[in-house]
């Protein structure tokens, strides 16, 4: 499966996600600069990496969400192309309107950088098919603005539609209903604050993140 990683000024997990994608797919991802206006042809996934695009100016992900390449990403997502946003990538996806809600400053104001336990809420999406519903996994987080917010109606709706992919098993950042990862209505866009790409081999202390990429490969195709 061919993949693309979008690189914004200030992205700093673009290489991590590229290494993870290559390890699982066997194909080096195309690294696409934010100023480009088109995605490479024939890709099965676009990944928006973690980092601090544009120094988090204005709001985390706000400026990156208005970059040229994001118009192509939104158009491709609307046609069903899988899009994965991790950490800052999640913030960019909400700012671009591809996912509901917003990511605010952590409730305790601290930058949280540690391993956290997650529960898999929806194990039927293209991203989570290799997990079992209710399974507990360990994935690291590293963020300052991971406090997921949406109004009550939106939270009820996304929960009712099975669009919560992952929840924190304990309190991490003040997120509404402990939401750690959200799917769009079509199930082809996932945003999550934890970093699965930092947990793909034993040397990382575990490989719970690897199955996300393996599941994608299986679902989307080689």
Partner 1 sequence: MKLRIFVTLKPGVLDPQGKAIHKALGGLGFEGVNDVRAGKLIEMDVADATDDAAIDDMCKKLLANTVIENFRVERV
CB 61 within 8 A of CB 88: yes
Residue 207, interface with partner 1 (CB under 8 A)?
A: no
Cβ nearer to partner 1, comparing 147 with 184: 147
* Under rule CB under 8 A, residue 59 binds partner 1: yes
Task: Output the smallest distance, CB 129 to partner 1, in A.
Answer: 30
Q: What is the CB-side half-sphere exposure of residue 139 using CA atoms within 13 A? A: 28
189 forms beta bridges with 83
Q: Does 85 bind partner 1 (CB under 8 A)?
A: no
If binding is defined by CB under 8 A, does position 147 make contact with partner 1?
yes
Pick from 25, 94, 125, 188 the residue near partner 1 by CB under 8 A.
94
> Residue for token digits 């490989």?
207
Question: Using the rule CB under 8 A, which residue among 109, 114, 153, 170 binds partner 1?
Answer: 109
Q: Which of 58, 113, 132, 185 binds partner 1 (CB under 8 A)?
A: 58
Whole-number minimum distance, CB 217 to partner 1, in Å?
33
CB of 151 to partner 1, least distance (A): 8
Helix H, strand E, coil C: the string for the chain is: CCEEEEECCCECCHHHHHHHHHHHHCCCCEEEECCCCCCCCCCCEEEECCECHHHHCCCCCCCHHHCHHHHHHHHHHHCCCCEEEECHHHHHHHHCCCCCCEEECCCCCCCEEEEEEEEECCCCCCCCCCCCCCCEEEEEEEECCCEEECCHHHHHHHHHCCCEEEEECCCCCCCHHHEEEEECCCCCEEEECCCHHHCCEHHHCECCCHHHHHHHHHHHCC
In the shown chain, the binding pattern of residues 159 to 198 toward partner 1, with x for contact by CB under 8 A and - for none, equals: ---------------x------------------------
Which listed residue (25, 53, 67, 106) binds partner 1 by CB under 8 A? 106
Stretch that binds partner 1, among 46-54, 56-64, 134-142, 158-166 (CB under 8 A): 56-64
List, by residue number, the catalytic residues: 87, 195, 197
Give the one residue of 40, 149, 218, 219 binding partner 1; rule: CB under 8 A: 149
Which positions touch partner 1 (CB under 8 A)? 58-59, 62, 66, 94-95, 100-102, 104-109, 147, 149-150, 174
């Amino acid at each position: 499966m061919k993949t693309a990683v979008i690189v914004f000024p200030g992205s700093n997990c673009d290489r991590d996600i590229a290494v993870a994608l290559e390890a699982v797919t066997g194909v080096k991802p195309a690294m696409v600069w934010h100023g480009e206006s088109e995605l490479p042809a024939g890709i099965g996934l676009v990944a928006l990496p973690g980092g601090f695009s544009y120094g988090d100016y204005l709001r985390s992900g706000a400026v990156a969400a208005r970059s040229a390449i994001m118009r192509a990403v939104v158009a491709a997502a609307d046609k069903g192309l899988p899009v994965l946003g991790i950490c800052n990538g999640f913030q960019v996806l909400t700012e671009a309107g591809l996912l509901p809600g917003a990511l605010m400053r952590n409730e305790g104001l601290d930058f949280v950088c540690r391993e956290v336990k997650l529960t898999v809420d929806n194990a039927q999406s293209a991203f989570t098919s290799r997990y079992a519903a209710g399974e507990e996994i360990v994935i690291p987080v590293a963020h300052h603005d991971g406090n997921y917010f949406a109004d009550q109606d939106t939270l009820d709706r996304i929960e009712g539609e099975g669009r919560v992919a992952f929840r924190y098993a304990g309190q991490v950042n003040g997120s509404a209903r402990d939401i750690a990862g959200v799917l769009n209505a079509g199930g082809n866009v996932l945003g999550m604050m934890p970093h699965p790409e930092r947990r793909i081999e034993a040397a990382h202390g575990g490989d719970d993140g690897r199955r996300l990429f393996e599941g994608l490969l299986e679902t989307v195709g080689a």
